[in-house]
Amino acid sequence: MAQTKLGDLTVNTSGELPAVGSKLPDFTLTGTDLADFNSSVFAGKKLVINIYPSIDTGVCSASVREFNKRAASLDGTSILCVSRDLPAALKRFCGAEGIEAVVPASDFRHLGFAKSFGVEMIDGKMRGMFARAVVVVGADGVVKYTEMVPAVGQEPNYDAAIAALQ
């Protein structure tokens, strides 16, 4: 299992991020329209997966805004923003913020994403929510970059994630 910080406390996650060089794990998520989709919709595309605890926190919403801004310059790349938030909360936030360049999705229904990516915090006050992480996948479906952010209150390394797409 991996670890991250929540304030001054170290919290454990349910596993490890997929290894660089491994195939993207299969997953099923729920979109803001309540329709389920799986990882196959990203086949043949570069993919940045922004994983975070909740859209209703400052750093999480900042990461979605920043990846949305950067998405405009990334041809052939999808950016998937994943949490366990209810799809209605994701839809409300994205609508209010004008977020249209990323794909917001929830693991609230299937719960398999957390297992496949090892990101569920298994202790601490936010137990059951996701740790902050980024996974970058090439158009060939192979993981090119991962980052388990050292502290939940810290933004991911956007530049490193985008550079891994090259």
pLDDT in tens, 21-46: 999 999 999 999 999 999 999 999 99
Query: Which pLDDT score is estimated for 142?
Result: 98
Six token digits for residue 121: 């915090």
Among residues 60, 79, 119, 149, the one annotated as catalytic is 60
What pTM was estimated for this model as a whole? 0.96
Query: Which pLDDT score is estimated for 52?
Result: 97
The mean pLDDT of 124-144, rounded to a whole number, is 97
Query: Which pLDDT score is estimated for 93?
Result: 97
**94 is a catalytic site residue:** no
As a whole-number percent, the residues of the chain with pLDDT over 70 amount to 100
Cα 123 to Cα 101: distance, rounded to the nearest angstrom: 33
Report pLDDT digits (tens) over 41-65.
Answer: 999 999 999 999 999 999 999 999 9
Cα 100 to Cα 120: distance, rounded to the nearest angstrom: 26
Report pLDDT digits (tens) over 69-118.
Answer: 999 889 899 999 999 999 999 999 999 999 999 999 999 999 999 999 99
Note the Cα 1 to chain centre separation in Å.
Answer: 18
Query: Which pLDDT score is estimated for 72?
Result: 85
- Terminus-to-terminus CA distance in the chain, angstroms? 29
CB atoms closer than 10 angstroms to residue 88: 11
As its CATH architecture, domain 8-163 has 3-Layer(aba) Sandwich (3.40)
User: Taking all residues of the chain, what is their mean pLDDT, rounded to a whole number?
Assistant: 96
